[in-house]
């Protein structure tokens, strides 16, 4: 279990996902790639996040779905 992985993900979502994003699979894939790259740059292995939340793509789809204000 990696608290730092989850904290990184939460902060990253706050800083990088617009509050009124549409639930879009293409955007979710781009965000998943970007958060993974940013985690690596920050010295956090992607596994530290995925062991807590599972698939990064699925996580980004869920984030976008929660922020979708249709």
Q: What is the pLDDT of residue 68?
A: 66
pTM as predicted: 0.86
Taking only the tens place, the pLDDT of each residue in 8-24 is: 999 999 999 987 767 78
23/47 Cα distance (integer angstroms): 25
The mean pLDDT of the chain is: 89
1 pLDDT higher than 60: no
The 3-class SS string of 58-69 reads: HHHHHHHHHHCC
Q: What is the pLDDT of residue 70?
A: 52
Residue ranges covered by each domain of the chain: 3-67
Least confident interval from 2-6, 19-23, 43-47:
19-23
Report the pLDDT averaged over residues 32-61.
94
- Spell 3-30 as b/e; 16+ CB within 10 A means b: eebeebbeebbeeebeeebeeeeebbee
């Amino acid at each position: 279990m990696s608290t730092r992985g989850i904290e990184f993900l939460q902060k990253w979502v706050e800083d990088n996902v617009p509050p009124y994003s549409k639930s879009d699979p293409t955007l979710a894939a781009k965000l998943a790639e970007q958060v993974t790259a940013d985690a690596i740059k920050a010295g956090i292995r992607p596994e530290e996040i995925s062991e807590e939340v599972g698939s990064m793509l699925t996580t980004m789809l869920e984030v976008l779905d929660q922020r979708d204000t249709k």
